[in-house]
């Protein structure tokens, strides 16, 4: 996380049974950052979607790769990075959400990314030497203080 | 710590599903399986009663999306009830409140099938 | 973990508010390894004690150091390593548990290590280039299968 | 997700404490604080009712150990009740079942104070 170690780092195999551990630590960190239970669940959902995408799209379902989640509280924001060393995101491949087509064509693609974008204040993708990074930021509630790690 | 359980009841020919926990890419098969079982039995009136649902990821929304056409073609509908604020928000964020009928309580969802509004056109 | 990457790695700051995240991932991993809820709680307790000791004794309460927990399922056992880069354990400093003295002298030292030893099948300490490692192993229940990572 | 809460009731002059969650080095202050409050009020008959207690680490056991002498010197006792198997195991492993009176249910712990056995000598 550019210049500074993130507070919490979790590294798990690229298998959906580890999404629960990702969810747990995300909720804990969200609560330490001052988010309430419902907000913590939403944040965990966004991270779940990002990690699921790594498993399904970056690794194409391969079970022996690694997913890394980095969580940090920086001043007034919670920052989450989901990192993989698989295939990067091709921005052109990301479908636009078209609700009308969902119903008529049973299209479901694009929902995950859309949810991530709606839950977080920002979602950005970048490639680094250490892998592909999906960085998601959410402003902390005003009252929130606590874990400045 | 169980990630997801899905209890099932039947009332007035309606299948009531009670997912408890988290629906995501890992647990969605269980949820899908319960819906599919209802369809296999020819039951096309389904209420997903979400009081115990903590969150539903896109995989779960996709599961509902994947069966709604078959259900409506057969004169039934899949309706939602008793969603907590987090889950309700997810539906709203995605505009799914325009695709599905969502009721504050289970009983309202059940009664709605009496209205003869089975053909599940989305609410106005 | 000698020659092979552990399935799950969690790194957190040396603060007791992160014990909850350590507990969460330990319980998840224990369940994936086939332990039931009560056993998972006991395993989480042993890891809680080990991590608390790192914070209190290896780091003497300093809040800006790192605690790393590595969890792995290897064949028929669950293996947990708690790693720090602080002061190592001096085996001579580890008190023997003497229950009679607890009551009369209000002595409470030594309970944590004693619990770890009773809950796990083995507890060993070693120094490595990467830090001090507390390695705890517990045999999986016979019926258990699941997450071979 | 709350790590620990400690509710309190009073009955027949006995302070009943209901820890829910996990007692460890992080949460022990809250548990200690509730015990200390009872002592500050001069109440030396305490029952820790553990139905909601998931685990208690050595920090929590130390907290009990740290007050038991004062409590017993004042003619009272701190007794435990309704521990789940995990927590009960922890007490047994450490031999604390020889230092404290542990009851299957809260009501038995409460009634035990009627026996006049306040001076909390450990059970035989
Ligand atoms: N981590 C990732 N790596 C590579 N491609 C990705 C990643 N995340 C998303 N994508 C691309 O973006 C698309 C949209 O993702 P998403 O909105 O989650 O819907 P879905 O996963 O259902 O297709 C994916 O189909 C994939 O092409
Ligand atoms: N990770 C560690 N690093 C250094 N010393 C340790 C560590 N863990 C335990 N010790 C030593 O062992 C002693 C016993 O630990 P423990 O049984 O947990 O009881 P307590 O922490 O209450 O003293 C400690 O007081 C300390 O001297």
What average pLDDT is seen over chain A?
Answer: 88
pLDDT at residue number C110: 83
Is the CB of A60 inside a 6 Å radius of any atom of ligand 1? no
Strand partners, B77: B45
Tokens of A102: 């969902």
| C-beta separation of A10 from A51 below 8 A | no
pLDDT at residue number C142: 82
| C-beta separation of A59 from A14 below 8 A | yes
CA distance C50 to C115: 10
Tokens of D95: 């031999």
Which residues of A make CB contacts under 8 Å with D?
27-28, 31, 37, 40
Atom of ligand 2 lying closest to residue C49 CA: 18
pLDDT confidence of A148, banded at 50, 70, 90?
A: very low
Best residue among C87, C94, C96, C131 to mutate for probing ligand 2's pocket (most ligand atoms within 8 Å of CB) is: C94
Nearest to C82 by CA among C50, C105, C36: C50
Ligand 1: distance of its center to the CA of B5 in Å? 27
Nearest chain A residue to C30, by CA: A21
Q: Provide the 10 A C-beta neighbour count for residue D88.
A: 17
pLDDT at residue number B123: 52
CA distance C47 to C80: 8
Q: Are strands B4-11 and D14-23 parallel, antiparallel or unpaired?
A: unpaired
| C-beta separation of B89 from B53 below 8 A | no
Strands (DSSP E) contained in D1-124 are 4-11, 14-23, 45-49, 53-56, 77-81, 102-103
| C-beta separation of B16 from B106 below 8 A | yes
pLDDT for residue C78 is more than 90: yes
In this predicted structure, which of A40-49, B113-122, C133-142 has the lowest mean pLDDT?
B113-122
Residue B121 vs residue C72, higher pLDDT: C72
Percentage of chain A exceeding pLDDT 70: 82
| C-beta separation of D16 from D9 below 8 A | yes
- Using only C-alpha atoms, what is the Rg of chain C? 15
DSSP state of D5: E
Which residues of C make CB contacts under 8 Å with A?
5, 7-13, 15, 17-18, 20-21, 24-25, 28-29, 32, 66, 146-147, 149
pLDDT at residue number C44: 98
Q: Which residues of A66-105 are buried (b: 16+ CB within 10 A; e: fewer)?
A: bbbbbbbbbeeebbbbbbbebeebeeeebeebeeeebbee
| C-beta separation of A132 from A86 below 8 A | yes
Helix axes of C111-119 and D58-73: crossing angle, nearest 10 degrees: 130
Say whether A8 and C20 touch across the interface (CB within 8 A): no
Residue D42 vs residue C3, higher pLDDT: D42
CA distance A131 to A82: 10
Nearest to C66 by CA among C56, C53, C79, C55: C55
pLDDT tens track for C84-132: 999 888 767 766 666 666 555 555 678 999 999 999 999 999 999 989 9
As to burial, measured by CB atoms within 10 angstroms (0-12 exposed, 13-18 middle, 19+ buried), residue A118 is: middle
- Does any CB of chain A come closer than 8 Å to the CB of residue B15? no
CA distance C127 to C129: 7
pLDDT tens track for C37-71: 999 999 999 999 999 999 999 999 999 999 999 99
CA distance C46 to C120: 8
In this predicted structure, which of A30-39, A49-58, C35-44, C105-114 has the lowest mean pLDDT?
C105-114
Tokens of B7: 């209890």
Tokens of D26: 């992080």
| C-beta separation of B16 from B8 below 8 A | yes
CA D80 to chain centre: 5
Q: Supply angle C-alpha D79, D22, A77, rounded to 5.
A: 150
pLDDT at residue number A1: 45
Q: Is the ipTM of this complex over 0.85?
A: yes
Strand partners, A74: A77
pLDDT tens track for A82-94: 999 998 887 677 6
CA distance D42 to C57: 35
Whose tokens are 């606590």? That residue is: A146
CA distance A6 to A126: 17
| C-beta separation of D8 from D18 below 8 A | yes
- Tell me the chain A residues in contact with residue B3 when contact means C-beta distances shorter than 8 Å: 20
- At residue C54, the 3 state secondary structure works out as helix
Q: Supply angle C-alpha C47, C63, C108, rounded to 5.
A: 50
pLDDT confidence of A144, banded at 50, 70, 90?
A: very low
Walking along chain D (124 residues) 10 residues at a time, the average pLDDT comes out as 92 96 97 98 98 96 94 97 95 90 97 73 51
pLDDT confidence of C133, banded at 50, 70, 90?
A: very high
Whose tokens are 């350590």? That residue is: C22
Query: Residue range A94-118: average pLDDT?
Result: 72
Residue B24 vs residue A146, higher pLDDT: B24
Best residue among A94, A95, A115, A134 to mutate for probing ligand 1's pocket (most ligand atoms within 8 Å of CB) is: A94
Whose tokens are 């001090």? That residue is: C132
Is the CB of A93 inside a 6 Å radius of any atom of ligand 1? yes
pLDDT at residue number C5: 82
Is the CB of A82 inside a 6 Å radius of any atom of ligand 1? no
pLDDT at residue number A90: 78
CA distance A147 to D10: 35
pLDDT confidence of B39, banded at 50, 70, 90?
A: very high
CA distance D124 to D122: 6
According to DSSP H, which parts of chain A are helical? 19-32, 37-53, 99-105, 111-119
CA C135 to chain centre: 7
Nearest chain C residue to D99, by CA: C103
CA B95 to chain centre: 15
pLDDT confidence of B122, banded at 50, 70, 90?
A: low
| C-beta separation of C114 from D111 below 8 A | no
Residue C15 vs residue A87, higher pLDDT: C15
């Amino acid at each position: 996380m550019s210049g500074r170690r993130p507070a919490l780092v979790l590294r798990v195999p690229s298998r959906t049974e580890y999404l629960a551990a990702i969810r747990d630590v995300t909720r804990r960190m969200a609560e330490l950052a001052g988010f309430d239970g419902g907000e913590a669940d939403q944040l965990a959902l966004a991270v779940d979607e990002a990690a699921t995408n790594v498993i399904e799209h970056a690794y194409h379902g391969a079970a022996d790769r690694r997913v890394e989640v980095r969580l940090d509280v920086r001043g007034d924001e919670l920052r989450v990075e989901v990192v993989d060393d698989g295939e990067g995101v091709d921005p052109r491949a990301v479908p636009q959400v078209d609700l009308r087509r969902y119903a008529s064509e049973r299209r479901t693609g694009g929902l995950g990314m859309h949810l991530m974008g709606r839950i977080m204040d920002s979602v950005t993708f970048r490639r680094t030497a250490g892998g592909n990074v999906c960085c998601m930021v959410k402003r902390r509630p005003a009252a929130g203080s606590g874990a400045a790690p | 710590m169980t990630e997801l359980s899905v209890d099932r009841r039947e009332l007035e020919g309606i299948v009531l599903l009670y997912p408890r926990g988290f629906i995501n890419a890992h647990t969605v098969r269980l949820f899908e399986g319960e819906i599919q079982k209802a369809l296999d039995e020819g039951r096309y009136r389904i209420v997903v009663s979400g009081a115990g649902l903590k969150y539903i990821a896109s995989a779960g929304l996709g599961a509902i999306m994947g069966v709604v056409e078959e259900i409506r073609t057969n004169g039934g509908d899949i309706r939602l009830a008793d969603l907590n604020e987090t889950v309700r928000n997810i539906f709203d964020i995605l505009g799914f409140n325009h695709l599905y009928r969502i009721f504050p309580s289970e009983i309202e969802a059940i009664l709605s099938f009496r209205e003869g509004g089975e053909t599940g056109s989305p609410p106005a």
